Amino acid sequence: MSENWRLDPDRALPADAEIRKQARAIYDEIASLPLVSMHGHVDVDLFAANKPFRNPADLLIVPDHYLVRMLVSQGYTPAELGVPFTDNGGTVAGAEASDVETDSRVIWRRFCENWRLFRGTPTRYWLEHEFAEVFGLSAPPSAENADDLYDELTAALARPEFRPLALLDSMNVEILATTDSALAELDSHAELARTLGPDRIVPTFRPDSLLHVRHQSWAKEIAQLAEVSGIATDDYAGYIRALEQRRRAFVAAGARATDHGHVSADTTPLARTEAERIYTAALRGEATAAEADAFSAHMLFEMARMSTDDGLVMQLHPGVLRNHNARIHEKYGADKGFDIPTRVEFTRSLQPMLEEFGLSHDFRCIVFTTDETVYSRELAPLAGAYPSLRLGAPWWFLDSPEQMRRFRESAIETAGFYNTSGFVDDTRAFASIPARHDLARRIDAGYLGKLVAEGRLGPDEACETAIDLTYNLPRHAYARHERNA
């Protein structure tokens, strides 16, 4: 179908002729390796239902906060891009339900007319790859061809090979980890395990809102936790046992990892009595902000302790201030592009956890950051010393060509390649998964190609390293440990 639009086969490889030659040779070794997707946000029910995607806007625009926020930054409201109001969002002053654009074609046109805004961004790269390679569109978007492309996409989505499970196969995704509430019943995962086998779509345990005692839904979720675990949570001991029970349920459902998005990386444990005291105060709605932070740090330490027991890999990604704009949050809810990074500290923050578990062979922690300054200063030195620690891939705002290259240039000299996790795609945009993995492979090939061209690594070593980064390291980093004891 893609008769007019061919992507540059050397795109995102370095321009220098000698480096490109080396990079091309390395990339050729890894381009068709299976995708190991161990950290993402595609909804498991998408696969359980396996229905056709409704329309181009619903598939490609509305759920992609990278894309929505860029159009918002130039003057659109989220509603004009089809983003629905939350339940109480429609009651916000000035918001009328009719403001939400429901015509998928209109939303698509708005996107196409603003294609230039994405120049120089990874969104541009991912979408080009999706459009040309996954959906076979005939040309890049523009104001002029918006309607034609819309029709091409609509026709494609009606075909069986564009249903979720078919795409999972054609995209060559070997394993996909979803991210799930700690309260999730995991029914869809169980069903998919039966039909696809046990290691194809696996859950990830994300307990954030349960660990922040001042989170707006904490009280409600604590009650749900009791219900789903069958363990009373009206005291701290029960709360801990209930969390342990949920983790076991995730392990049974094939989970490899937990996932933690606290603002701070603090892991300072509390004395048992102090933890109990704060928990009890929180149940009465009387915990202070400082107590909530202290409890949250304590619970990261507890999560590490539980990981040494049940073998779940612990993923940490602190440092993002969620819902920076209250109006956007109230009207549209979370994850709408208004989460903004802040400075983050790891050296002192992780010390309590690493003192206790850092040398243990039963513990693995993978750390992510959106603050690139910590790579050379803190994370590479830590990952280059502690056997339990792996340095996660550049993530979210840093999942882009220049940042991935800078990650390699900042972290590898101290951490080495073999203390890193390999690539994670972290996407909510299902169809972008192959594009994201492909881009990372090209950037890694470029970096390794430079090392070869500068006489810093042999060509065979570079190819072996590329394969490890692409396949073996993520497979190994996310392998759940069986407790030796």
Rg (CA), the chain: 23
Could you tell me the two tokens for 272?
A: 């048992």
Beta carbon nearer to its own copies, 101 or 378: 378
Beta carbon nearer to its own copies, 169 or 454: 454
Nearest to 395 by CA among 18, 108, 38: 38
> Residue for token digits 């639009």?
5
Beta carbon nearer to its own copies, 22 or 55: 22
Burial class (CB in 10 A: 0-12, 13-18, 19+), 148: middle
CB of 192 to its own copies, least distance (A): 34
Cβ atoms 250, 280 nearer than 8 A: no
Give the helix ranges, DSSP H, for 158-271: 164-170, 187-196, 208-211, 218-229, 236-252
- C-alpha to C-alpha distance for 136 and 38, rounded to whole angstroms: 27
CB of 21 to its own copies, least distance (A): 10
Beta carbon nearer to its own copies, 94 or 160: 94
Q: What is the dihedral of CA 292, 298, 303, 304, to 10 degrees?
A: 150
CB of 326 to its own copies, least distance (A): 6
Other C-beta atoms closer than 10 Å to the C-beta of 13 total: 21
- C-alpha to C-alpha distance for 278 and 283, rounded to whole angstroms: 9
Beta carbon nearer to its own copies, 144 or 454: 454
- C-alpha to C-alpha distance for 221 and 209, rounded to whole angstroms: 8
CB of 401 to its own copies, least distance (A): 7
CB of 385 to its own copies, least distance (A): 5
Decide: helix, strand or coil at residue 229.
Answer: helix
Beta carbon nearer to its own copies, 271 or 326: 326
Nearest to 23 by CA among 9, 5, 36, 37: 9
CB of 212 to its own copies, least distance (A): 18
For 61, phi then psi, to 5°, come to: -115, -60
Beta carbon nearer to its own copies, 238 or 397: 397
CB of 373 to its own copies, least distance (A): 5
- C-alpha to C-alpha distance for 115 and 142, rounded to whole angstroms: 6
> Residue for token digits 């086969």?
9
CB of 425 to its own copies, least distance (A): 16
Q: What is the dihedral of CA 379, 381, 386, 388, to 10 degrees?
A: 20
Decide: helix, strand or coil at residue 315.
Answer: strand
Beta carbon nearer to its own copies, 203 or 449: 449
- DSSP letter at 420 equals B
Beta carbon nearer to its own copies, 371 or 425: 371
CB of 400 to its own copies, least distance (A): 4
